[in-house]
């Protein structure tokens, strides 16, 4: 289940900072999720949700690659 902090992060613009429970970009837990070179993956240490931050697209829910 996605925690409240992650739910609130989704849809924000890219210049918003990651919430405090998000680990450093690309940490363990983000393996298997798709990101392009100008996007970063953040795993939440509370709920395990992986969020994607794109420079132009802002924050969204990351998608698993197959
Ligand atoms: Zn979370």
Q: How far is the CA of 51 from the centre of ligand 1 (A)?
A: 9
Q: How far is the CA of 10 from the centre of ligand 1 (A)?
A: 10
Of 31, 6, 66, nearest to 53 by C-alpha is 6
pTM surpassing 0.85?
yes
Q: How far is the CA of 37 from the centre of ligand 1 (A)?
A: 23
For residue range 36-53, list pLDDT tens digits in order: 999 999 999 999 999 999
Residue 48: left (phi > 0), alpha (psi -120 to 50), or beta?
left
Q: How confident is the model at residue 66 (pLDDT cuts 50, 70, 90)?
A: confident
Q: How far is the CA of 43 from the centre of ligand 1 (A)?
A: 8
């Amino acid at each position: 289940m996605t925690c409240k902090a992650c739910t609130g992060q989704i849809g924000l613009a890219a210049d918003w900072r990651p919430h405090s429970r998000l680990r450093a970009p690309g940490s363990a837990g983000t393996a298997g999720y798709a990101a392009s070179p100008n996007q970063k993956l953040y795993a939440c240490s509370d709920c395990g949700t992986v969020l994607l931050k794109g420079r132009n697209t802002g924050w969204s829910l990351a998608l698993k690659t197959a």
